[in-house]
């Protein structure tokens, strides 16, 4: 009886560690594309000197390719000629075994850009 309880405890502990490890690795693997997307959007905005028609089209195309994420761009006026943009990328990671939803979010800020 003692060996059965020990084996059950060992199996339970092993399964918990495996699920936690899978969850942490999944979060890390899923967070990297979000961070890369935020960096790409910031580069697009800085290259085009703000939200112009061409930069908006590129960001919209990127948003359509990556349908499971939300791109939120907030602008902050610094002076009459310059703005700063904050790019937030949001998504939700779902762990199917536990039916657990983990919100993932990253944000990047541009340097000052001309209107």
Tens of pLDDT, residues 40-63: 999 998 888 888 899 889 999 988
* Beta pairing class for 100-109 and 113-114: unpaired
Residue 56 covered by a domain = yes
Integer Cα distance of 46 and 67 in angstroms = 23
Closest CA to 37 of 76, 84, 69, 83: 69
Residue 14 covered by a domain = no
Residue 16 covered by a domain = no
40 Cα distance to chain centroid? 12
Residue 81 covered by a domain = yes
| Tens of pLDDT, residues 86-101 | 999 998 887 777 787 8
This prediction has a pTM of 0.73
- Tokens 């209107």 — which residue? 115
Residue 22 covered by a domain = no
Report the pLDDT value the prediction gives residue 90, as an integer from 0 to 100.
92
Residue 1 covered by a domain = no
Q: Which domain holds residue 66?
A: 31-114
Into how many domains does the chain fold? 1
Residue 17 covered by a domain = no
Residue 58 covered by a domain = yes
Closest CA to 84 of 107, 105, 66, 61: 107
Report the pLDDT value the prediction gives residue 86, as an integer from 0 to 100.
92
């Amino acid at each position: 009886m003692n060996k059965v309880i020990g084996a059950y405890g060992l199996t339970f502990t092993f399964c918990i560690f495996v699920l936690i490890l899978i969850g942490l690795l999944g979060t890390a693997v899923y967070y990297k594309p979000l961070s890369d997307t935020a960096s790409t959007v910031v580069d697009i905005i800085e290259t085009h000197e703000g939200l112009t028609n061409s930069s908006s089209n590129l960001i919209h195309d990127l948003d359509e390719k990556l349908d499971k994420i939300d791109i939120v761009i907030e602008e902050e006026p610094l002076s009459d000629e310059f703005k700063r943009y904050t790019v937030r990328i949001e998504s939700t990671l779902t762990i199917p075994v536990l039916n657990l939803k983990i919100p993932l979010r990253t944000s990047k800020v541009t340097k000052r850009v001309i209107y």
